[in-house]
A = this chain, B = another copy of it.
Amino acid sequence: MSKTTRPGSRGATLADVGRAANVSPMTVSKVLRKTGRISEKTQERVMQAAVSLGYVNNQLASFLGSATSDIVCVLIPSASDSVFSEILSSISETLRPFDLRTFVGESNFNPEIEFEQVRSFLSIRPAGLILSGGVKRLAKTDDILDKHGSATVQIWDGDTRSGAANIGPSHKVAGRMMAEHFIKAGLKNVAYIGSELGADLCAAQRAQAFERTLRRHGIGFTAITSECVPRQAKGGAWLTEQMLDDHTGIEGVHFLNDAMALGGIRTMYQRGLNVPDQMQVTGFNGTSLATSVRTQLTTINMSYTDIGEAAAQSVMSLARGEAVAASQVQESCFVQGNSTIAPQS
C-alpha cells in the first residue's frame, strides 16, 4: 500500500508480489523476466503470488526504467483501405514472433495530422517507426524525426528515397504499365479517373506517368478528377457519370483503384455501355475487390505481404543498429482480366 493515495493506481506492483512471496521486489523482477539465477523454490513461490494477484507488468515503468520499448508505430493514410490494412496485417504478423507490438495511426493524407501522429508516436519512445509515403511531409515532421533519431522506415512510395529505408512499388512504373497496355490495344482516346490526387502523391505519380506515356504516343487524354469524392465504388460511379455526360469518343479508362473501377463499371452497365467492347476499364491494387461476379478487373497487383514483411524486418534491423538497403522497390504485376481486351502480343 503506498503512503500517498494517488488516483488511478491500479493493479498489483512488484512490491505487492514480493510481499506475498516474502522476497524483495528485485527478486520478483528477476523471476518474471527470467533473468539472473534464482532458486527453483523461490521462483515457484513468486510465480504463484504473481498469478494469484493477477500481476501485470507496468510497461510504462519498464520502458522508462530500461529506455527500451516493444512498440513499433505504423502510420498509414487509412485503415479501411484494403491495401494498407493488408500491409498492416503483414507487419504485425512479422513483428509478433519477436514480441514487438504494433501501434497504428491514420493520417488521412493530411500533412498536419501526419505531424501530430508522429509527435504522438515519438512521445511513447517506440522501438521503431513505419511511415507510409505519398503524403506531403512537413519540414517540422522531418525535423522532429531527425532530432529523435528513431529507427524509421518508409513504405509505399518506392520512387522517393527518404529516411534510412524506403520500401514500396514504383508508382511511375505502374502508371506507365497501364498506359502501355492501352497503347498496345490500339486505343486512341483514353481517360483517367481519380480522387484526392492533391493529397495522395503516389496516386498522383501514377496518374502523371500514365498521362505522359499516352501523350508521348500521341494518344488523346482526359482526366476526370475531384478532390473530395470518396475513393470507393460510389466515387468511381459519380465521376464516370460525369465522364459519360461531358465527353465522347473515350475508349478506355484507368481508375485510381479497383473499388472506383468497379463503381465505374456499374455505372457503364446501367447506361447500357458494354465493357470491354465499348469501353475498356482498368484499376489498380489487385485486392479481393478486383473480382466481382462476372467482372475480373484488369489491374496491377503486387505482394502487400512482401512489403509488410520487408518493412518489419528493416525496422528491426535499424533498431538493432544494423545497416539496411536504402531503397527496396517492390515489383508491380500486370493482371489481364476481362474488363479490357487483351492486346495480341
Residues of A within 8 A of B (CB): 6-12, 53-54, 56-61, 63-64, 67-68, 79-80, 82, 85-86, 88-89, 92, 101-106, 119-120, 122-125, 143-144, 146-150, 232-234, 259, 262, 265-266, 269, 288, 291-295
Residues from chain B with a CB closer than 8 A to the CB of A8 are: 67-68, 125
Across the interface, A123 reaches (CB within 8 A) one of B6, B58, B292, B293, namely B58
Q: Are B232 and A259 in contact (CB under 8 A)?
A: no
Q: A59-B123, A63-B60, A233-B288 are in contact. Are A54 and B144 (CB under 8 A)?
A: yes
B119 touches A56 (CB 8 A): yes
Query: With A and B bound together, what is the CA distance between A7 and B144 in angstroms?
Result: 20
| Alpha-carbon distance between A266 and B291 when the two chains are bound, in angstroms | 9
Extra contacts besides A59-B124, A101-B105, A293-B294 (6): CB < 8 Å: A10-B150, A11-B122, A60-B60, A262-B292, A262-B293, A292-B295
Q: Is the CB of A56 within 8 A of B148?
A: yes
Q: Which of chain B's residues has its CB closest to A295's CB?
A: B293
Choose from B10, B54, B88, B101 the contact partner of A79 (Cβ within 8 Å).
B88
Most buried by B among A58, A60, A146: A60
Give 28 A-B contacts (CB < 8 Å), ordered by A residue: A7-B67, A8-B125, A10-B148, A11-B125, A12-B147, A54-B147, A56-B119, A56-B122, A56-B148, A57-B123, A60-B125, A61-B64, A64-B64, A79-B85, A80-B82, A102-B104, A103-B103, A103-B104, A232-B288, A233-B288, A233-B291, A234-B288, A266-B293, A266-B294, A269-B294, A293-B293, A293-B295, A294-B294
